[in-house]
Amino acid sequence: MSVLFECEYRGQRYAGLGLPVPAEPLTLYPVSDGQLRRAVLAGGGTEALLASVVSGGAPVTVAYGDPEVRYLPPLLPKDSGNSLITGFMGTHRSKFPQPPAPDEEFIAPNWLIKGFGAWLETNSAPLTVPASAVALLEEPEVGLVFVNDEQGDPHYAGYTFANDLNDIGLHLKNPWGWTPYAKLCDTSMTPWLFLGAPPESVTGQIIIEREGAVAWKGDFTCGADAIFQRVPDMVDNLFSYPGMRRPELVNYLLLGSDKASFHAGFRIADGDRVTFDIASHGVVLSNEVAYAPQTSTAASAGFTAWDRASS
């Protein structure tokens, strides 16, 4: 499976091919913002997209683990308003009494907006959550990446993996009203864009460490085989809405997750490190959870000032 990625190094945007190999030098090719997105829209398949990476200036070679290399979510635009993270809910087969019949009518799963693409974090960056969080849940998910052309037609670029961290405790208090609040936790995503159809099977392990020791771990599966709905139906239905077809928008679609540490009775705490060892694809996503300080925004203070100025 071909893989590409983008990063920033000493103020310049670069792209690379394949997954970095520990202890081996990393070759980076200079690219402009939007170069790879334009290559996706131009078509030509995997080979043409890979060729676009090496078509720029002279490459640079850096050491593996160089701290000046900052990896980026796949195809992330510099303009945060041109990318959107959204997710499906309640998609996994374990949450349904029986698998769907081949001719069963499609019923769209629940869906929500997580935020702009600029809100995404990658490996090692902390995931910030509200200090008022009730009970957190990590969610290993497949993320599909689409680029809309100038007419708003979506073009599939590939897939990656994400942690849709959320406050399931708040969600359970009011599933029909407070879920969007519960999703206002940072989301992390691997920088690796896998150039292929959405994966049928993804397997791995969740590892949660507290003060340097493993506090909980468990296996996970995701991918099309684990999802109750048919992925093409989910995607086609979502893009039938004009708001998702804004020209040049990059869409990150999270396909949903199965049960995880919360359902096993574990509770994530401030400072815990959540790692997804995605063994089936040879990649790792690891982030520390950070509770935001409880502060008063005093956003409503302007109401009083407005009233005084108007009187």
Average pLDDT over residues 288-311: 75
Q: Where are the domains of the chain?
A: 1-72, 79-291
pLDDT at position 101 is: 77
Statement: residue 258 has pLDDT above 80: yes
Residue 206 confidence (pLDDT): 98
Lowest mean per-residue pLDDT among 24-38, 90-104, 217-231, 239-253: 90-104
Above 70 in pLDDT, residue 311?
A: no
pLDDT at 254 over 70: yes
* pLDDT tops 70 at residue 236: yes
Cα 32 to Cα 76, 82, 172, distances in angstroms:
12, 16, 44
Name the DSSP letter for residue 108: P
pLDDT over 80 at 181, yes or no: yes
| pLDDT at site 306 | 61
Please give the Cα distance from 249 to 256 (Å, whole number).
21
Distance CA 3, CA 14 (A): 14
Q: Work out the average pLDDT over 14-32.
A: 96
**DSSP code string of 170-206:** HHHH-TTTSHHHHT-S-EEE-S-EE-SSPPS-EEEEE
pLDDT higher than 80, residue 80: no
Ordered DSSP codes for 110-146 = EEEEEEEGGGEE-TTS-EEE-TT-S-EE--EEEEEEE
CATH number given to 79-291: 3.90.850.10
Q: Alpha-carbon distance 61 to 16, whole Å?
A: 11
- pLDDT at res. 176: 87
Judged against a pLDDT cut of 80, whether residue 24 lies above it is answered with yes
How confident is the model over 137-151, as a mean pLDDT?
97
Cβ atoms of 50 and 16 closer than 8 Å = no
Q: How many CA atoms lie within 13 A of 207 on its CB side?
A: 14
Q: Give the pLDDT band (50/70/90) at residue 308.
A: low
Burial 239-268 (b: 16+ CB within 10 A, else e): beeeebbeebbbbbbbbbbbebbbeeebeb
User: Which residue in 62, 54, 12 sits closest to 29, CA to CA?
Assistant: 54
pLDDT at 309: 62
Dump pLDDT digits (tens) for 94-137: 888 777 777 888 889 999 999 999 999 999 999 999 999 999 99
Burial of residue 139, with CB atoms counted within 10 A of its CB: 0-12 exposed, 13-18 middle, 19 or more buried: buried
Residue pair 112/179 in contact by the 8 Å Cβ criterion:
yes
Residue range 176-193: average pLDDT?
95
Q: Which of the four pLDDT bands, split at 50, 70 and 90, describes residue 298?
A: confident
At 169 the pLDDT is 97
**DSSP3 helix / strand / coil % (the chain, rounded to 5):** 20, 35, 40
Looking at every residue in the chain, the average pLDDT score rounds to 93
